Amino acid sequence: MGEKYQALVERLKEIRNVDRAAAVLHWDQQVNMPRGGARGRAAQLATLSRIAHELLISDETARLIADAETEVGSADYDSVEASMLRVAKRDFRKSTCVPSSLVAELAEAETLAHEVWAEARAQDNFGKFLPALQRILDLKRREAEFRGYSEHPYDAFLDDYEPGMTASRVKKLFDAHKGELVSLVAAIKERGDGVSDALLRQTYDIDKQRAFGEQMVRAYGYDFERGRQDVAVHPFCITFSQGDVRITTRYNSDYLNPALFGTMHESGHAMYEQGVDPALEGTPLSRGTSLGVHESQSRLWENFVGRSRPFWTWAYPQLQSTFPDQLGGVDVETFYRAINRVAPSFVRVEADEATYNLHIMVRFEIELDLVTGAVPLEKLPQLWNEKFESYLGIVPPSDKLGVLQDVHWSSGLIGYFPTYAIGNLLTAQFYRQALAAHPFIPDEIAQGKFDTLREWMRANIYQHGRKFTADELTQRLTGEPVECSYFITYLQEKYRDIYG
């Protein structure tokens, strides 16, 4: 490709460098920074974010895009060049359609709202959060008008995380499996509490937890030569370059699950980022294509592999020898059932596979009303609890365990929640395709071999980075758009086996 295209790529790489430098500061803030550093760090991050934004929306970038288009014009749709131009144009359009004054107003409102939310949550006082939430929503509605949408203002926000997805498609997907989930969870409840997870809630030495978790994800194929794991309050995965994709986790000395399955989860995100084609490194294409596809990979390694019977056939003897006092007398079947226990709970991040998407549906339906203003904000806790009861059969005893539990709305992240559920649906779809191509994958997993599965994901998903949208990728891989029936079948088979 010619000089004009190269000049555009150089520009885009420069912008990405600023973003990735900001990522290092962000990681440090979550992992190492003393509390006193907060104010200074916020100022540094704001400066870097302004520099990256100015570089992107500048006339110079617009000119480089227009010039490159004359060279790339007729390149094949699948080529790196055509994909680069598509993504650059999309990013440019998104960044320029909202006036900087509104962007700044939102950033300020979000910083304030986040503080108020944390306080309101600690005090279990929704009323305190209400004015800050109202302000965020007013600003977000204005943002939606600038961004533009075809059907519902919510579409403008969804598009940030799941390009091309719309509220009506999400609603259809959710409506198509809500009833099945509700009856599955109710049927399990009827069986009584035949599965206990008490054995997971013993004392587990933290150093040994760390060593075991790292051993598992190293076996998956998370490359520690190009990554590392640290401790953070809210676990995440973050990319500085393809040579440095880090994960974090949190340890609980009297509960085995959070660190073990959290590490597997984040390693799925990280292997996606580590697996992007090296030729795309440093460009806007060198990361996962959408939050839903990203989540499909974390859920694959956390649940479809990490909570499967074949996996523990291989891993359990190792876990037993790591924790002989706690698990020496527990057989693998009892352990397998314990890690797959289904029980409706109030908190999304602790939800099991069967109830998880119901937590998301509650939030999605409420968000639609928030965006249009269809419901008065003071009715929110009541609305939350009513929906919660009708889907999960339990009512949160407090707003802290209900409408105030998640950080997203205070951070202006409207439209983010559905991507978690879409991720679960996509995992089932992608895994089904991998199994069709290589039916012996479960046998390999039972021997601690993960490369056939990982390489299938790398070749079909990871390597493309952002070249294709989630819709394009899903259509190409499965011959259909995102779909819920495979996920439901997976859950029904799994829990029929466990609960009878």
**Residues with catalytic roles:** 266
- The footprint of Zn ion on this chain (CB under 5 A) covers a number of residues equal to 1
Q: Which stretch binds Zn ion (CB under 5 A): 17-25, 298-306, 324-332, 393-401?
A: 298-306
Q: Which is nearer to Zn ion, 48 or 270 (CB)?
A: 270
Q: Which is nearer to Zn ion, 220 or 336 (CB)?
A: 220
Minimum CB separation from Zn ion for residue 262, in Å?
9
Contacts for 19 with CB less than 8 Å, ≥ 6 apart: 48, 52
Q: Which stretch binds Zn ion (CB under 5 A): 173-181, 200-208, 296-304, 476-484?
A: 296-304
Q: Segment 59-98, which members bind Zn ion (CB under 5 A)?
A: none
Q: Which is nearer to Zn ion, 298 or 410 (CB)?
A: 298
Residues 399 and 124: beta-carbon distance below 8 Å? yes
Minimum CB separation from Zn ion for residue 427, in Å?
11
On the 0-12 / 13-18 / 19+ scale of CB atoms within 10 A, 479 is exposed
Residue nearest Zn ion, Cβ-based: 298
Q: Which is nearer to Zn ion, 298 or 424 (CB)?
A: 298
Q: Which is nearer to Zn ion, 5 or 272 (CB)?
A: 272
What is the per-residue binding string for Zn ion in 239-278, x denoting contact by CB under 5 A?
----------------------------------------
Minimum CB separation from Zn ion for residue 81, in Å?
31
Minimum CB separation from Zn ion for residue 30, in Å?
15
Q: Which is nearer to Zn ion, 95 or 411 (CB)?
A: 411
Q: Which stretch binds Zn ion (CB under 5 A): 54-62, 80-88, 224-232, 290-298?
A: 290-298
Minimum CB separation from Zn ion for residue 238, in Å?
12
Q: Segment 123-162, which members bind Zn ion (CB under 5 A)?
A: none
Q: Which is nearer to Zn ion, 18 or 237 (CB)?
A: 237
Minimum CB separation from Zn ion for residue 349, in Å?
10
Minimum CB separation from Zn ion for residue 301, in Å?
11
298 binds Zn ion (CB under 5 A): yes
- Distance from chain centroid for Cα 277: 21
Report the half-sphere exposure of 404 (CA within 13 A, side-chain side): 25
Q: Which is nearer to Zn ion, 222 or 335 (CB)?
A: 222
Minimum CB separation from Zn ion for residue 110, in Å?
21
Name residue, tokens 């294709």. 468
What is the per-residue binding string for Zn ion in 209-228, x denoting contact by CB under 5 A?
--------------------
Convert the chain into a string of H (helix), E (strand) and C (coil): CCHHHHHHHHHHHHHHHHHHHHHHHHHHHHHCCCHHHHHHHHHHHHHHHHHHHHHHHCHHHHHHHHHHHHHHCCCCCCCHHHHHHHHHHHHHHHHHCCCHHHHHHHHHHHHHHHHHHHHHHHCCCHHHHHHHHHHHHHHHHHHHHHHCCCCCHHHHHHHHHCCCCCHHHHHHHHHHHHHHHHHHHHHHHHCCCCCCCHHHHCCCCHHHHHHHHHHHHHHHCCCHHHCCEEECCCCCEEEEECCEEEEEECCCCCCCHHHHHHHHHHHHHHHHHHCCCHHHCCCCCCCCCCHHHHHHHHHHHHHHHCCCHHHHHHHHHHHHHHCHHHHCCCCHHHHHHHHCCCCCCCCHHHCCCCCHHHHHHHHHHHHHHHHHCCCCHHHHHHHHHHHHHHHHCCCCCCCCCCCCCCCCHHHCCCCCCHHHHHHHHHHHHHHHHHHHHCCCHHHHHCCCCCHHHHHHHHHHCHHHCCCCCHHHHHHHHHCCCCCCHHHHHHHHHHHHHHHC
Q: What is the binding site for Zn ion (CB under 5 A)?
A: 298
